[in-house]
Amino acid sequence: MRFAPERFLQKWDLDGFDKGVLLAVLAIYAVMGAISFYEKGTDKTTAYFRQLGIILAIRDLWTKVQFEFLKELMVLKSTADPKAGEAVARERIRALAEAFCNDLDKVATGELADWRTEFLASLSELEAAAKKGSEDITTQIQDVLKTAEKAATDAKVSAEKAAADARAAAKTAEEAGKPGALNLALSGDFDEQVFISVDGVEVTRSSGKTIAIDRVVPGLRKISAHAKKGGKDLETARMVDVKPGLQDLELVLS
């Protein structure tokens, strides 16, 4: 019904009708499963047929012994001297009764053995089912514990990594906040003083060729030097990646 053509379903107004059929089938399976579970749990049907077999076996034994009794009575009546054959007939009837009791005991003993076998088999099935269920539950618990342990380990590793990243970021931020310093070495001759600028802003003047510049903001900075030589302007500049801490820089005046 699910794979039937849509035109057929629309024509007969059967669209979605298979859902009701599916529910009915599931209900039938549920009833069958409940009956099967009840039967397996109570063993009513097996016990009924076993009892019926025992009743039929006892009936057959009793019918047989009745015919034997009748035969003995007929033999006794047909004898010429009933009193003489009475003792013999009584002994044979006693033997028949004893044989009937022995046969009845065999039937009862066989039924007990069958019941015991089935009972032990049922106990074995229950033990196997309980063992399997216990093993499954143990396996599931172990899997859950392993998953939880792995999750805890992963969380610990993630936390340690996050802490390390945080420390590294804090260290980087701390270092980024520190000012830079330059030991500037000048090459070339110049008159009087040289003017040193950082990003176009004059920061110091010096007549020497080794100049210390402090408190430089880290980052890309333009370091310039301006001086004069015999009336001629000298100028040089370099882009420097200033980092926190001290670093050396050389400039050539020309």
CATH number at residue 197: 2.60.40
165 and 221 both lie in a single domain: no
234 within some domain: yes
66 and 82 both lie in a single domain: yes
Cβ contacts of 200 within 8 Å, gap of 6 or more: 222, 224
21 within some domain: no
Range(s) of the domain holding residue 145: 43-177
Would the CA dihedral through 211, 217, 219, 220 be positive or negative? Answer: negative
52 and 101 both lie in a single domain: yes
157 and 169 both lie in a single domain: yes
Indicate the residue among 177, 193, 212 that finishes a domain.
Answer: 177
242 within some domain: yes
132 and 203 both lie in a single domain: no
Q: Kindly report, residue by residue over 104-130, the tens digit of the pLDDT.
A: 898 888 888 887 887 787 778 778 878
Q: Kindly report, residue by residue over 1-53, the tens digit of the pLDDT.
A: 666 666 666 666 656 667 778 889 999 999 998 888 777 666 677 778 888 88
1 within some domain: no
pTM comes to 0.37
Question: How many other β-carbons are positioned within 10 Å of the β-carbon of residue 150?
Answer: 10
Question: How many other β-carbons are positioned within 10 Å of the β-carbon of residue 190?
Answer: 19
59 and 173 both lie in a single domain: yes
Cβ contacts of 131 within 8 Å, gap of 6 or more: none
How many angstroms separate the CA atoms of 2 and 19, rounded? Answer: 9
Phi first, then psi, for residue 75 (nearest 5°) are -65, -40
**Based on the structure, what is the number of domains in the chain?**
2
> How many DSSP H helices and E strands does the chain contain?
4, 7
26 within some domain: no
How many angstroms separate the CA atoms of 153 and 109, rounded? Answer: 64
30 within some domain: no
